Amino acid sequence: MSAPLFLVASLPESDAYRLDGPEGHHAADVQRLRAGERLVLADGRGGTATAEVTAVGRGSVDVLVTVRRRVPAPDPRLVVVQGIAKGDRGELAVQAMTEAGVDEIVPWAASRSVAQWRGDRGQRARGKWVATVREAAKQARRPWLPEVAGDPDCSTKQVAARMTGATALILHEGAADRLTTVDLPDGGEILLVVGPEGGVADAEIDAFTAVGARAVRLGDAVLRTSTAGVAALAVLSARLGRW
């Protein structure tokens, strides 16, 4: 099994380091690491440090850094505009997309979104997505921590504005073009729109195509909002050479 990854605010400057706080608790008391075992420290911005556990305390582990590494930022970036879904489907989508390599997730208040993120509720819901991204990134051993857009519920107008300068693709079962064959850029940003349970409305497709977006489909089957994004990311990751 690969060494577990723990996120830190910044990588240690010296080789000797004590991992404490919530991550130290997880390492010492949940995963129960022992002296001699390896772990990876990551700052979520491409920097990693492989280390060996030298001692374990209550809620903390002492480590000795053996290898430092910096991973370049992914290019092109994969951004998913995820229609806000009801129940836990949104969090399921966020978890799977993080593991599959998404670089940023934009919560979208689509016209067919049943759940509404307004006020404090929206901030709490976004907070759950941020926490889900963090845990999924650790599980996947990702050196870059995906972002969750700051606005808890971007409007269609905001999403359309975000498409400027990006290669924007809308997942839609009625599209003629397939994601497996559409042209992809060598760099920049690929922005993928995933609708909520009811799909993307015609007016939204019109708004997005007006700024250069293109509708694409995965195949003949219609996927749930919680699985469409991760399936599309798998296709893109393979085509871009990430996988």
21 shares its domain with 51 = yes
33: left (phi > 0), else alpha (psi -120 to 50), else beta?
Answer: beta
User: In the beta sheet, which residues pair with residue 7?
Assistant: 42
> Quick one: pLDDT at residue 121?
82
Domain that holds residue 59: 5-70
> Quick one: pLDDT at residue 63?
97
Cβ atoms of residues 217 and 179 within 8 Å: yes
User: pLDDT (tens digit, 9 = 90+) per residue, 97-130?
Assistant: 999 999 999 999 999 888 888 778 888 989 999 9
Question: Among 25, 46, 70, where does a domain finish?
Answer: 70
Q: Tokens representing 200?
A: 């993307």
85 shares its domain with 116 = yes
The CATH number of residue 23's host domain is 2.40.240.20
> Quick one: pLDDT at residue 213?
97
Angle between helix 89-100 and helix 225-239 axes, rounded to 10 deg: 10
Question: Among 16, 39, 70, where does a domain finish?
Answer: 70
40: left (phi > 0), else alpha (psi -120 to 50), else beta?
Answer: beta
> Quick one: pLDDT at residue 154?
86
136 shares its domain with 213 = yes
Question: Among 28, 52, 70, where does a domain finish?
Answer: 70
94 shares its domain with 189 = yes
Distance CA 236, CA 16 (A): 40
235: Cβ–Cβ under 8 A, 6 or more apart, which residues? 179, 180, 218
Cβ atoms of residues 113 and 135 within 8 Å: no
65 shares its domain with 166 = no
> Residue 203's closest CA among 81, 111, 82, 85?
111
The CATH number of residue 219's host domain is 3.40.1280.10
20 shares its domain with 87 = no
121 shares its domain with 193 = yes
209 shares its domain with 133 = yes
219 shares its domain with 106 = yes
57 shares its domain with 101 = no
| Helix H or strand E segment including 108 | strand 104-108
Whether the model pTM is above 0.85: yes
Cβ atoms of residues 74 and 103 within 8 Å: yes
pLDDT tens per residue, the chain (243 residues)? 789 999 999 999 999 999 999 999 999 999 999 999 999 999 999 999 999 999 999 999 999 999 999 999 999 999 999 999 887 888 999 999 999 999 999 999 999 888 888 778 888 989 999 999 999 999 999 999 999 997 777 899 999 999 999 999 999 999 999 999 999 999 999 999 999 988 999 999 999 999 999 999 998 888 999 999 999 999 999 999 999
120 shares its domain with 210 = yes
Q: How many domains does the chain have?
A: 2
